[in-house]
Amino acid sequence: MGRVALVTGAGRGIGRAIAEHLAGLGHRVAVNYRVSAAEAERVATSIRETGGEAVAVGADVSDEAAVGELFVAVEERLGSVEILVNNAGITRDGLLLRMSADDWDAVLAADLRSAYLCTRAALRAMVRARWGRIISIGSVAGLAGNAGQANYAAAKAGLVGFTKAVAREVGSRGITANVVAPGFVETDMTAALGEEAREAARRAIALGRFGTPQEVAAAVGYLASGPAAYITGQVIVVDGGMAL
């Protein structure tokens, strides 16, 4: 029997691919969303139609009270969270000299504070069970920086340090914590890039193409598996060789 997995921000893009991939591996999946209820329900429905078990659960995962309610709802409907995928996040791009404090705070809350709140909530049951998988979706921007994304790069770099600290704290309880850091992936966000920007990005990638959400999901699926039990505190870069 599969485990109970919670994927935050799972209504579309990489989050959707992760939710569907984990369901395909036999896990029971909670599809979290903040505003896109219809999209999240479509993901959960598609999983159920292919024989899986999934529910859509709304919550702003940057809000402490909402996270508490989210974990209660998931436990009531599926059971205690055993696999947590911290995928929720936003961007508010702009050069630092013009970046407002509100844009800085919004990205740090959605991309980093959410991981802290959800991981803390998940650990209670994981520690009791002496088993757990915490996987956070970072970015190559958090490893190399990116002009116009000081807030996003800071949040994703923070995820790396956060994950390494968590890995050290809970490793003795059979819980692993890792980061998957994608490069350019075919999503709504990268689709909005102009063709000139897309071509420049492709030239910087050793494999000469953008990745797919499913390729990122495959890395998450492996880290959530039994055979990955000896991998913790690591950053798995899925970027086609862009950061070589």
Active site residues: 152
Kindly calculate the radius of gyration of the chain based on its CA atoms and give it in whole angstroms: 17
CB-CB neighbours of 193 under 10 Å: 14
Is the distance from CB of 44 to CB of 55 less than 8 angstroms? yes
Q: Report whether 163 contacts 136 (CB < 8 A).
A: yes
Distance CA(8)–CA(70), nearest Å, equals 10
**Whether the Cβ atoms of residue 175 and residue 123 lie closer than 8 Å to each other:** yes
